[in-house]
Chains A and B, each alone.
Chain A
Amino acid sequence: MRYSYYPGCSLERNAGAYHTSLMAVAAQLGVEFAEVDDWNCCGATEFIAVNRLRAYALVSRNLALAARQTGGSNGAAKGQLVAPCSACYLNLSKVDHYLSESPALASDVNQALAAGGLSYAPGSLRVRHLLDVLVNDVGYEKVAARVCRPLHGLRVAPYYGCLVVRPGFRERFDDPEYPTSLDRLMRALGATVVDFPLKAHCCGGHMTQISRDVALELIRRLLKNAADYQADLIVTLCPMCQLNLDAFQESVNGLFGTEYRIPILFFTQLMGLAFGLSPAAVGIGKEFIDARPALAKIGAAAPAAAEAAPKRKPRRGDQSLPLPQMSEEE
């Protein structure tokens, strides 16, 4: 299986571990990701807040390049573009969808693209998230068959965040409020999946840069929810979610007087470990919250992650709402 691959800016550096692990896992599963040559930033949630047509043109350049390259020499599966970042996935599929819906918008965008010698026919690509491809094209059985070091005893909270499951412009591969595909994938690796009612709630996105306290409260809720269900770690499928929950965990502890110490790993890192790859081969060791104590449960010794000492402050009221519960086994 070959796909066109759009890594997005985060995977170049801050979420390098995601790129490393997904490539390692893909190799094990016989999936090939051909990177779109000379792709540009998708604009995250910022570009569209400043410009309208330029934001659509920015994303469309990537669609145009991917469509041209898949139809051309690199041999990628025709018309399938895979993004591992939820925000990139959303922007690519949303722009493709809105261009199809509005011929006026498509015509403006194509006029802009023409200035760079490009064009894009709306709908000529199928934009997919990495999780969708791994669970639906590869499949749980094939994944389970590759497992040689099952994650037995590891309690995992599957975190989806927002943009993979909502708003589902083109197609849905999971429930927008209570998704379960990542749960099933983690079970296929042998992990114990804990109920995680906030699994599709927001990590705060770029709110850390706009109103820090609002963002930290959103992050705190997620950490508390995972801690309430005794998760050893949270597994994520988006670089923004990983960064917020990992790098800001100490800030949450500082603000709320909590002592959370929950490692945040990419789902592909756990897949790699279950396939018998070494922690280094899946980029473990770059996280702020040390994953070693959790990974010791499955006998994977990870490289040391540097840690800051926790700060203590008076506790604020705990305002999370009661949530429905689900049994831990299907």
Chain B
Amino acid sequence: MATSTSTSRTSDFFREVVAECPVDPRLEACLQCGTCGGSCPSGPDMDHTPRTLFAMIAAGMRDAVLRSNTPWYCVSCYYCMERCPQEIRITDVMYTLKRMAIKAGYSAQTTAPKGPGFAQTFVDHVENYGRSFELGLITRYYLNHRPLDALKMAPLGMGLLKRRRLDLSPRPIRQIEQLKAILDKAREIDAAHAV
């Protein structure tokens, strides 16, 4: 992917992050102004603010970045992207870091351990049915990842059921095989790029 990140002040990890983004995130232009962290609704609960995280990426602190809860606490509100004076695609960088943390096997070791499991369960459902199947999703996720919390969520599930706001059975899309073929091909292309 064409980027302008060949400056000597960036680390290998920095270049890896940029290359993993779907389009150039313009991360090399970060001024360390802190607007992103100041705008972030989850900022106070993050291990590192987005600004700090970007400095850590530039410094090549791979392990600390991929273990941090910061990407998982990003709620995709896009305030940072709206306000960043350098138009850096901050939210895309957060998504990229989530993918890299999962790929590097850090899922269970991040300081937001519930994040990767929920995302993976969601993806499995969509890949199998083409749509997100709420009750199945929630049930499977809680039983697999958070059996103790399952009870806490039960009233919500019952409330949704009582109001007929939950599906009791998965309803796959008609051309699920077509979708699977597309997704398989995408996986193949992604794998070819990775080597």
Interface residues of A (CB under 8 A from B): 9, 12-16, 38-41, 43-54, 56-58, 61, 98, 101-102, 104-105, 108-109, 111-118, 162-163, 166-168, 176-177, 201-202, 204-207, 209-211, 214, 218, 247-248, 251, 285-288, 305-306, 308
| Residue B9 interfacial (CB < 8 Å) | no
**Which of the residues A14, A206, A251 comes within 8 Å of B118, measured between beta carbons?**
A206
B 169-195 to A, binary, CB cutoff 8 A, 1 in contact else 0: 001011100110111111101100100
Q: Would you give the shortest CB distance from A97 to chain B, in whole angstroms?
A: 9
| Residues of the A chain whose Cβ atoms lie less than 8 Å from the Cβ of B75 | 45, 202, 204-207, 218
Q: Would you give the shortest CB distance from B167 to chain A, in whole angstroms?
A: 5
Q: Would you give the shortest CB distance from A151 to chain B, in whole angstroms?
A: 24
How far apart are the CA atoms of A53 and B194 in the complex, in Å? 12
| Residue B33 interfacial (CB < 8 Å) | no
Q: Is the interface of B mostly helix, strand, loop or mixed?
A: helix
Evaluate whether A40 and B179 lie within 8 angstroms (CB atoms) in the complex, with A49-B99, A52-B190 already known: yes
Q: Would you give the shortest CB distance from B125 to chain A, in whole angstroms?
A: 8
Residues 17-73 (chain B) with a chain A CB within 8 angstroms: 20, 22-23, 41-42, 45, 69, 72-73
| Residues of the A chain whose Cβ atoms lie less than 8 Å from the Cβ of B77 | 162, 166, 201-202, 205
Which 7 residue pairs are nearest across A and B when measured between Cβ atoms? A115-B185, A202-B77, A112-B186, A46-B122, A166-B78, A49-B98, A116-B178
Q: Would you give the shortest CB distance from B67 to chain A, in whole angstroms?
A: 15
How far apart are the CA atoms of A250 and B189 in the complex, in Å? 46
Contact, CB under 8 Å: A54 / B186: yes
Residue count of chain B within 8 Å CB distance of chain A: 64
| Residue B159 interfacial (CB < 8 Å) | yes
Evaluate whether A115 and B181 lie within 8 angstroms (CB atoms) in the complex, with A13-B166, A16-B165, A51-B187 already known: yes
Contact, CB under 8 Å: B123 / A117: no
Contact, CB under 8 Å: B173 / A39: yes
How far apart are the CA atoms of A208 and B40 in the complex, in Å? 17
Q: Would you give the shortest CB distance from B50 to chain A, in whole angstroms?
A: 14
How far apart are the CA atoms of A330 and B131 in the complex, in Å? 43
Q: Is the interface of A mostly helix, strand, loop or mixed?
A: loop
Q: Would you give the shortest CB distance from A116 to chain B, in whole angstroms?
A: 4
Q: Would you give the shortest CB distance from A228 to chain B, in whole angstroms?
A: 18
Evaluate whether A56 and B98 lie within 8 angstroms (CB atoms) in the complex, with A39-B173, A218-B75 already known: no
| Residues of the B chain whose Cβ atoms lie less than 8 Å from the Cβ of A251 | 156
How far apart are the CA atoms of A285 and B164 in the complex, in Å? 10
| Residue B10 interfacial (CB < 8 Å) | no
| Residues of the A chain whose Cβ atoms lie less than 8 Å from the Cβ of B119 | 46-47, 49-50
| Residues of the A chain whose Cβ atoms lie less than 8 Å from the Cβ of B141 | 209
**Which of the residues B73, B95, B173, B189 comes within 8 Å of A48, measured between beta carbons?**
B95
Which residue of chain B is the closest to A287 with respect to CB atoms? B163
Contact, CB under 8 Å: B126 / A102: no
**Which of the residues B99, B156, B183 comes within 8 Å of A52, measured between beta carbons?**
B99
| Residues of the A chain whose Cβ atoms lie less than 8 Å from the Cβ of B73 | 207, 210-211, 214
Contact, CB under 8 Å: B126 / A166: no
Q: Would you give the shortest CB distance from B124 to chain A, in whole angstroms?
A: 9
Contact, CB under 8 Å: B115 / A53: no
How far apart are the CA atoms of A305 and B163 in the complex, in Å? 8
| Residue B79 interfacial (CB < 8 Å) | yes
B 136-161 to A, binary, CB cutoff 8 A, 1 in contact else 0: 00000100000000000001100110
